[in-house]
Structure 1
């Protein structure tokens, strides 16, 4: 690690935490994937043994390329960067450690590597020249400390690898572009100017966290501050498909903010809203309004894109458009729609192999098939899910959606500790993304903390008033886990269509409330939707960490008559 002492002096706790994150997410998995073995670690480095030179170089290339992306939005003086040296030579094994000239030379050439670079010996360069597509630069012979003979060294260029080509391709995805124009101060109060500008800048920052949008920079948009603008001209000049404009007006002790989203192609207003708040804490108001707009706007853009895509044949779609259409089909949650979604997301990946968002959503769509049993070989599909997520993470591990989907998939595999880690990463990357926030509530419910879960789910609903209907189902299940049966039933009633899972929870609610007639009615709907419904098989599909939560649901279903009917059927069969 370059600059370890400087970074530790400036922020010891933060440096150690970030270094730990890099190891968990990137370094250790890359070593394991390439069949390496960590021999020992020091505070600022590690010694790793590989059985293959090719594996060692592939591992080093992956680490350095992904670290470049991880550091892309980190201030230069806070970046964690590595130097890597690779040597091929005989080693001596003793007490789980390795020794010899081969190790000493690797240690010395690491110190000569560029920050963020890889330095190798001639033996390594000769081995990989015909096996890996990588740029190799001859650095000549160098004298190394405590090594008697000169050693010829080479630099490996990161710019020519397959992965870097994927990264460049990723940038060409045709995402919807959006410009946020400076909000107008309509108050006649110069003191409110800072509020209008701050609100605009905060919205820009939050929207930039959404990797499915291309957000025009502040420097470009603030050129139009206090100027009358023609929407189409601004959009054409900045290359934006959508514009956001708004105003701030102070009236007594209240402030009103209006915002609207405009389609630049036809000057049509896609969405508009207003926020009326007391001026008790202007910074809290700024944060609240920013969060609401940042949560709602991407959904409105996506809806406008869907209307456009409905008129396009799939064969003519770009990677982004295929991915968006696949997401729409995925959310319908049927076998036929899932099949179509798989086809479209496969096309998105084929069109742009470096599109991290598409790889992540491929895992999500395959995960839906895996969870619902819409696949013949579940083990093979699970392997595809893991591979797609690995690829997405390698391409862009700063995408909140990638970590959100990783968390969701791990929940469905009952790996709740891993799910919690990725969920926290997703929240850190985009705390105002309604799908991340609602999933935090869902995960807390599985972990046995439903009261906290309820707060997070309600926060997601406040962030995005146009939230998907399924948020109500998450809220209802959290209320049930908190033993709040009336609130759970009321939340379920917001769903326009319910499957056997929701009817099962409602039946359990009525079972606990002692309403036998209502409980029996919902159990009847469960059996109509799933004739072979069984309590134990149903409970096995859920992900509660606490056995007490499992027992709570089991008892509610028994009170609703689920087991009683099964036992009665068994008794009749026995008498026959």
Structure 2
């Protein structure tokens, strides 16, 4: 008998008996797809362990309430996107509780299981219901997703349980950042002939990790599927084993069968968790670099008149590989071209807004002047479409805040709404982090950036996210940590001026004047027109205590007025 404190997730398929009665064959196909492509990989990727399966429901244990809730939300969001057209639509109820659990032979019981099961039974289809114990363990990126449900009387539970509810997310709010003709990759579930539970679980975890990392790149969307009709690329993997020795054999092919990448990664079952992380990081990096090079070469060889809206949008996203003036200029130019061809293209509109508002923040005034009239049109379109696309809520709120049309409280509410609707979108996370920094809420900003980096660690946004983290550390007075984070970012992008500004100001605040002046020289080498007044004139600047300390540090480091 094993007793432990665990986060317990209880999940159940709604109307299972009715769906089986209407068309059992189609329902069984849908159920197999749910297990292989949605539930299994998401659970394993978040380090969950299925301890009980009832055909139409599961009990899953997690060591972390954050992992349990994140996994539950990802599963519900994925189901909200819809399934195969020839299969019935599956909806689930999910409950999560943190409590004592006892495992004995093939059964699991205890307070944690009982309360989670009752929360699931009381939940609405498509929702996630959690107890107060779970809600109290969540960080600032997850809490906005839940509404206070008050105290509930649950069957056979002695005391009322305070409940928090994340209601069903309408399909319109889970729209992909890419259009239907955007670049897609199908990640086939990792296959293995080893029937050991831990090997099967590892295969599911690798599938979930790789698909999640690939999907968080802005320029390609990924789906777990054996065959996706619209996918240009397919990632196929087979996990071999001999005792504790493991080998993952991987092949990346396109829709005509051309092989773009073949690789293998060796590991050991005794180090399964570390190897899972290593595989996710290494494999994702290889796949992204291969596809990036292939698509960039294809686009470079196309005459300008032959570029479609999808091609321009992909070029705009690829240009963000470099967070500098040339990259932002490329993003704006290609996003604008895509919108001239397809004015209502959501992914191009998002990139156009990112490019313009980044130009404002970086002080690229000539770019701002060139695109200002079009940016006003883009912003109006975003106001109409933000119900469909949560990421649009942020640029709309950003513009209102810094035009003086919204109060700090209204801006914060908009950020929390975006988090509520898209808590697994690294772009939303990153921009919310920037917003919370501007509001003087560095701890909440750090929560956002940490999650954004976890979700989008293989994206070109990493330098920007590290810059946001360093800014938050500076606001908190943790100057050494700010410098350390900047150094990590400079290893990725030596031209990102934010790192040099923060290093100069942080060293100055620490009294290390020689290093502060050296960092200021590095800054002026990359941004020769940088001055205190230029920084103050940029969109988003506010005279907060942290910003005053930042400018004082730059003055000490030698930045001219």
Unmatched 5+ stretches in structure 2: 1-79, 84-88, 93-176
| Alpha-carbon distance in structure 1 between the residues aligned to 2:506 and 2:178 | 50
Shift of 1:239: 5.1
1:474–1:252: structure 2 CA closer, same or farther, 3 Å change rule? farther
Counterpart secondary structure, 2:344: coil
1:481–1:353: structure 2 CA closer, same or farther, 3 Å change rule? same
Shift of 1:549: 1.2
Shift of 1:310: 2.3
Higher RCO (Cα < 8 Å, 6 or more apart): 2
Higher helix share: 1
Deviation sequence 1:508-567 (CA, Å, 0-9, x none): 1121111222222333444555566543542443747782212321332343344xx65x
Shift of 1:322: 0.4
Counterpart secondary structure, 1:240: coil
Deviation sequence 1:444-487 (CA, Å, 0-9, x none): 33333334434543443344443433333233222222222223
Matched, 1:344 2:334: yes
1:184–1:419: structure 2 CA closer, same or farther, 3 Å change rule? farther
Q: State whether residues 271 and 300 of structure 1, in contact with CA within 8 Å, keep that contact through their aligned partners in structure 2.
A: no
Deviation sequence 1:160-186 (CA, Å, 0-9, x none): xxxxxxxxxx99853223222232134
1:358 maps to which residue? Answer: 348
Counterpart secondary structure, 1:187: coil
| Alpha-carbon distance in structure 2 between the residues aligned to 1:289 and 1:424 | 34
1:179 maps to which residue? Answer: 186
Find the partner of 1:503 among 500, 504, 520: 500
Matches within 5 A, 1:150-229: 174-189=181-196, 193=200, 196=203, 200=207, 213=220, 218=225, 221=227
1:341–1:561: structure 2 CA closer, same or farther, 3 Å change rule? closer
Q: State whether residues 394 and 432 of structure 2, in contact with CA within 8 Å, keep that contact through their aligned partners in structure 1.
A: no
Shift of 1:76: 11
1:244 maps to which residue? Answer: 235
Unmatched 5+ stretches in structure 1: 1-70, 79-169, 222-234, 567-576
Q: What's the C-alpha RMSD, in Å, of the aligned pairs?
A: 5.0
Find the partner of 2:439 among 447, 453, 473: 447
2:24 maps to which residue? Answer: none
TM-score by length of 1: 0.52
1:521 maps to which residue? Answer: 518
1:412–1:474: structure 2 CA closer, same or farther, 3 Å change rule? farther
Q: State whether residues 446 and 469 of structure 2, in contact with CA within 8 Å, keep that contact through their aligned partners in structure 1.
A: yes
2:453 maps to which residue? Answer: 461
1:481 maps to which residue? Answer: 475
| Alpha-carbon distance in structure 1 between the residues aligned to 2:184 and 2:528 | 49
| Alpha-carbon distance in structure 2 between the residues aligned to 1:298 and 1:319 | 22
Deviation sequence 1:278-303 (CA, Å, 0-9, x none): 799x9x99999999999997787555
1:312–1:190: structure 2 CA closer, same or farther, 3 Å change rule? same
Deviation sequence 1:115-152 (CA, Å, 0-9, x none): xxxxxxxxxxxxxxxxxxxxxxxxxxxxxxxxxxxxxx
TM-score by length of 2: 0.53
Matches within 5 A, 1:495-574: 495=490, 496-498=493-495, 501-527=498-524, 533-541=530-538, 543=540, 547-562=544-559
Matched, 1:324 2:324: no
1:319–1:202: structure 2 CA closer, same or farther, 3 Å change rule? same
